[in-house]
């Protein structure tokens, strides 16, 4: 992913945390910063695919994991599918992404290193 796509990815995660999971902007920013710090430590700059694999999860899925709510993934997705679509459209990702229909595993987001 290039820098612009990476920035858009994190902007989508941020908006999902705020608009879907009701986190304040500062809390969402802090949550993302901590997670990004963690994954940056795992990225091997000598292995180009390492950073690509980090962004395998849908932004919606990552936001769900970071928010840590009580509802199931499918319940949150069903309830907020329209909001997520609107967020994706605003970033030009609606056609390119699978809109949250990826396999989701509860817990720490999947990263590879």
Residue 74 lies in a domain: yes
Regarding predicted confidence, which is higher, 112 or 64?
64
Contact in structure between 54 and 1 (CB atoms under 8 Å):
no
Task: Tell me the DSSP string of the chain.
Answer: --HHHHHHHHHHHHHHHHHTT---HHHHHHHHHHHHHHHHHH--TT-HHHHHHHTTS-HHHHHHHHHT-SS-HHHHHHHHHHHHHHHHHHTT-TTTS-TT-S---SSSPP---
Residue 51 lies in a domain: yes
Residue 27 lies in a domain: yes
Residue 38 lies in a domain: yes
Range(s) of the domain holding residue 10: 3-90
What confidence tens digit (pLDDT) does each residue in 21-35 have? 999 999 999 999 999
Name the band, by pLDDT with cuts 50, 70 and 90, for residue 50: low
Residue 97 lies in a domain: no
Q: Kindly report the CA angle at 62 between 57 and 68, in degrees rounded to 5? A: 145
In whole angstroms, what separates CA 13 from the centre of its chain? 4
Residue 57 lies in a domain: yes
Whether the per-residue pLDDT at 59 is higher than 70: the answer is yes
Please state the domain count of the chain. Answer: 1
Residue 52 lies in a domain: yes
Average pLDDT over residues 6-25: 95
Residue 29 lies in a domain: yes
């Amino acid at each position: 992913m290039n820098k612009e796509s990476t920035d858009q990815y994190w902007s989508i995660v941020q908006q999902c945390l705020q608009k879907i999971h009701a986190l304040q902007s500062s809390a969402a920013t802090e949550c993302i910063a901590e997670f990004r710090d963690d994954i940056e430590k795992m990225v091997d700059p000598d292995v180009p695919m390492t950073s690509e694999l980090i962004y395998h999860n849908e932004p919606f899925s990552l936001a769900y994991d970071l928010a840590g709510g009580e509802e199931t993934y499918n319940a949150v997705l069903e309830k907020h599918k329209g909001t997520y679509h609107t967020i994706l459209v605003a970033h030009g990702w609606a056609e390119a992404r699978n809109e949250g229909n990826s396999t989701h595993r509860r817990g720490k987001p999947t990263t590879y290193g």
